[in-house]
Amino acid sequence: MDATLIARYQQGGDIFEALAAAYGDAAAQSVALAAQSGSEYQVNDALVNVKYGTPLNASLASNFWNNVATNPLGGAVSGINNQIGTLLKDILTSPWILGVAGAAIFISLGGLDFLKEKIKFKKT
């Protein structure tokens, strides 16, 4: 990009004014900032973002209702997922649960019979 083209993207230039009229001053400023780099790719990326990107509304209520309308279960599912993950982590790291699980495995593998044999062996 040459200096003349970069100047057209800056404030006061014809491209800047056209962008400001069509998409607003903030959009034109973002393209002007990209043009200052001199990279056609950055300018193109900024133009695509201005033309096809979704502008964010600053209103909290608007963002909330947009989220509810587009993904009504997103927050609930995310919250349940976090709670289940925390519950599983707490269960798997609890000393009581680990002790009961260890005892169950010991008994299921015949640990009681082994202990009975050892106790009988010591008495005789």
Q: What is the mean pLDDT of each run of 10 residues along the chain (124 residues)?
A: 91 93 88 92 90 68 75 75 87 90 93 84 58
Which pLDDT belongs to residue 58?
55
Q: What residue spans of 1-124 are helical by DSSP H?
A: 3-9, 14-23, 25-36, 40-52, 60-70, 74-93, 95-108, 111-123
Which pLDDT belongs to residue 123?
55
How far apart CA 123 and CA 90 sit, in angstroms, is 42
Which pLDDT belongs to residue 122?
60
Q: If you search the block for the tokens 């279960």, which residue do you land on?
A: 73
Which pLDDT belongs to residue 105?
95
How far apart CA 111 and CA 98 sit, in angstroms, is 17
Which pLDDT belongs to residue 23?
86
DSSP code of residue 109 = T
The full set of domain ranges for the chain reads 3-55, 77-123
